[in-house]
Amino acid sequence: MRVVPTDLPGVVVIEPVVHRDARGFFFESYHLEKYREVGIAGPFEQDNHSRSVRRTIRGLHLQAGRYAQGKLVCVIQGEIFDVAVDVRRGSPTFGRWVGMTLSADSFRQCYIPSGFAHGFAVLSDIAEVEYKCTAPYDPASEIGIAWNDPALAIAWPIDTPILSARDEHHPPLAALSGRLPVYDGTGL
């Protein structure tokens, strides 16, 4: 597998080796030791699977505190624009974001460490997304940030998204400063 760094320390794109032949394809979507060797230690405690229609934006979400989550994201069907935002107070990259296209055809994955908000926009008619999480879902630890926060200026490829009622009403990042994780100086 090949690991491609992004402009945000700790956020990486994984390009697995895909073996194709007349029958189809095979690849390792996760291998504990190989991922650990490139800094994705886990352990992963929960897997999630979502299905969304074109123009859906899910996010921006994160969990902080005891149940802070790192996420390993991959697309099973379709294509998405995946986004990670550094929301760690005191981080040199606080408020910066990176976005990348992930698709079932490319097999690319994105690892988003804890301390980063995550969201995605669906570019295909349907997208199914699976992601491994380093902690279980805990509603009390969850933080939502406005997908269209002007201070973040995320260049979403969708102008009029389909949002959940919850995602429509998240506050901007500046309103959440007391709830955000603190940068520990490690860059991860």
Query: What is the tens place of the pLDDT at every residue in 16-38?
Result: 999 999 999 999 999 999 999 99
Q: What is the residue whose two structure tokens read 């999480």? A: 133
pTM of the predicted structure, to 2 decimals = 0.95
d(CA 111, CA 99): 12
In angstroms, the Cα distances linking 135 to 68, 111, 113, 116, 156 are 6, 14, 11, 14, 27
The domain made up of 2-179 is a member of CATH 2.30.110.10: no
* Token output for 49: 């699977």
> For residues 136 and 139, what is the distance between their CA atoms, to the nearest angstrom?
10
Interval 61-115: pLDDT, tens = 999 999 999 999 999 999 999 999 999 999 999 999 999 999 999 999 999 999 9
Q: For residue 167, give the H/E element and its range.
A: helix 165-168
Using pLDDT thresholds of 50, 70 and 90, give the confidence band for residue 188. low
Per-residue pLDDT at 142: 97
Please determine, for residue 180, whether its predicted confidence score (pLDDT) is greater than 70: yes
Token pair, residue 165, equals 């009622």
Q: Rounded distance, CA 174 to CA 152, Å?
A: 10
pLDDT number for residue 42: 82
Distance CA 98, CA 68 (A): 20
Residue whose tokens read 């390993």? 72
pLDDT more than 70, % of the chain: 98
Q: List the catalytic residues.
A: 61, 131
Instruction: Tell me if 134 sits within 8 A of 116, measured CB to CB.
Output: no
pLDDT band at 41 (very low <50, low <70, confident <90, very high): confident
Instruction: Provide the residue ranges of all domains of the chain, joining segments of one domain with +.
Output: 2-179
